[in-house]
A = this chain, B = another copy of it.
Amino acid sequence: MSKVLQNGDYPFKKVYDYILHRIERKEWKENDKLPSVRQLADEMNLHRLTVLKAYQLLKQHDKVYVKEKVGYFVKSNETNNLEYLDNPIVSAYVQKNHLSEIHQSPVFYNFSQALIDPNLLPNHYFSDYVKKVFDLYPKVLSTYSTVQGDIELRETLTQYFINQYKTHFNADDLLITSGSQQAIHIIAQTFIKPRDIVLIERPSYSAAIDTFKSNGAQIVTVDIKKEGYDLTQVEMYMKQYKPRLFYLNPTFHNPTGYTVSVGQRKKLVELAEQYRCLLIEDDAYHDIYFEHSPPPPIYTFDTAGTVIYIRSFCKYISPGLRIAAVICQSPLMKSLITIKSLVDNGSPLLNQKVFLLYFSSLRLQQHLEKIRIALQIRKEIMEEELTATDWQWISPKGGLNLWVELPDRIPTELLLTKSIEKSISFVPGQVFDPFKQLSPWIRLSYSYANEKQLRIGVKRFVEVAQSLSK
């Protein structure tokens, strides 16, 4: 009988997952001897009891067996096979989510998750806000949200955007989604049919590439560089291919960190209107700037209704809530709402009300300041540790990642395998490329690991890379 795991069990769960994952990836094969409890505890800097608990659960779950006075061994078990089994009944039409698979590897030096270290988020205050939600809205858990999203929240966010950018719209032009991934999914469902052409930056957010492909889109790529796009090329593509939409992330771009100029933003809107191509502006990193706030979003230059704007607040407000806002003009919005009603019939009301309270608080602004400072420090630590190499990168002015070009002599795929063995993760550039090339590039996130893990982890990572380039 499985017992309910308590909060204090988290480190033990991590060890459990760490070992299980290596077994499933066949890094330890059937009947291989696992590290001893002492060895693993030392290596992971954990208490031996924590490691022992993990081993015991693995034994209980039939993944390992014990030889008295010798140690733990991998048990033979056919269901350890992670490969896709043939579905005996029906085959599935499934496009892989490449980024999601890399994130499955639990490691200690995590440079693959473009997420903010939970310790940097104001967890204690969240708790207060949630309690307050129940005082204000006693029936919040027994009520569904409307499909479009809680009206209070939409009005608050609308007012926020109007104040920030002096644009004119109202709460009807805003849709609440369960994070930006869902927003991208809904937009793809609404506007893409198989063989439609879609413009995507190269490189681009991996899950967006996978989403558009899974809707049958044909991808045409637009290079993004430090200076932005080649707008002559963009115009030529719009004329030639008549794409339905152009999905872009022009502010602290993921993975490159580049930011596109105001001049280019205005020109893009003109082109979109002229060639009847929707612009899908994904702006998840907007508030994560170091020195200066970035240029206004592309949608603020939109008049003809060519832009659909996605602003996720997940990264730095609260990943556990999953709240994003989608802003667009009325005819487009009605279609999105209909699709939203089919994908989940409305985001949970509790999350929206908790988010509303926190978003409306003074504490948010203060905390955002602290996060910016903390992230800038972490970026600088990562960059310091990389100075010893001849690797190339442009230092970003915001966001969560470094986009680093490795010299040719370092083989990226082998680097990934060897790094994971050393409990370090990163994302190879080809994951962000629809053509699956870009292999000298890698994305290193500095936002998740703490300062100590950054120093040790990046040092080790450089050592691993150098050991491969002999």
Interface residues of A (CB under 8 A from B): 1-2, 4-7, 13, 79, 84-90, 92-97, 100, 115-116, 118-121, 123-124, 126-127, 130-131, 134, 136-145, 147, 151-152, 155-156, 158-159, 171, 178-179, 181-182, 185, 189-194, 207, 210-211, 214, 244-245, 272-273, 276-278, 304-306, 318-322, 330-332, 334-335, 338-339, 341-345, 347-351, 354, 356, 360
List the number of copies, as a whole number: 2
Q: Is the CB of A89 within 8 A of B276?
A: yes
Cβ contact of A142, chosen from B94, B123, B305, cutoff 8 A: B123
Q: Which of B178, B191, B272, B320 contacts A178 (CB 8 A)?
A: B178
Partner of A140, one of B190, B277, B320, B322: B320
Q: Which residue of B lies closest to A13 (CB)?
A: B151
Contact yes or no, A92 B319, CB < 8 A:
no
Contact of A344 among B96, B181, B276, B321 (CB under 8 A): B181
Find out whether the CB atom of A211 lies under 8 angstroms from the CB atom of B350.
no
With a CB–CB cut-off of 8 A, which chain B residues contact A85? 330-331, 334
B100 x A345 contact (CB < 8 A): yes
**A336 to B, closest residue via Cβ:** B92
Q: Which residue of B lies closest to A332 (CB)?
A: B87
Q: Tell me the minimal C-beta distance from A243 to chain B in angstroms.
A: 10
Assess whether A278 is in contact with B4, with CB atoms less than 8 Å apart: no
Q: Report chain B residues within 8 Å CB of A158.
A: 2
Q: Say yes or no: B134 contacts A130, CB within 8 Å.
A: yes
Contact B193 A93 (CB under 8 A): yes
A379 to chain B, nearest CB (A): 20
Report A255 CB to chain B, min CB distance, Å.
17
Say yes or no: A141 contacts B115, CB within 8 Å. no
Q: Are A185 and B343 in contact (CB under 8 A)?
A: yes
Q: How far is the CB of A310 from chain B (nearest CB, A)?
A: 13
Q: List 17 A-B contacts (CB under 8 A).
A: A2-B155, A2-B156, A2-B171, A94-B335, A96-B338, A115-B144, A118-B143, A121-B139, A130-B350, A141-B354, A143-B319, A182-B343, A185-B343, A207-B342, A210-B342, A344-B344, A350-B354
Q: Are B304 and A89 in contact (CB under 8 A)?
A: yes
CB neighbours (8 Å) of A147 from chain B are: 100
Residues of chain B with a CB closer than 8 A to A96's CB: 338
Given known A-B contacts A244-B90, A320-B350, A7 and B97 have beta carbons under 8 A apart: no
Would you call A152 and B276 a contact (CB within 8 A)?
no
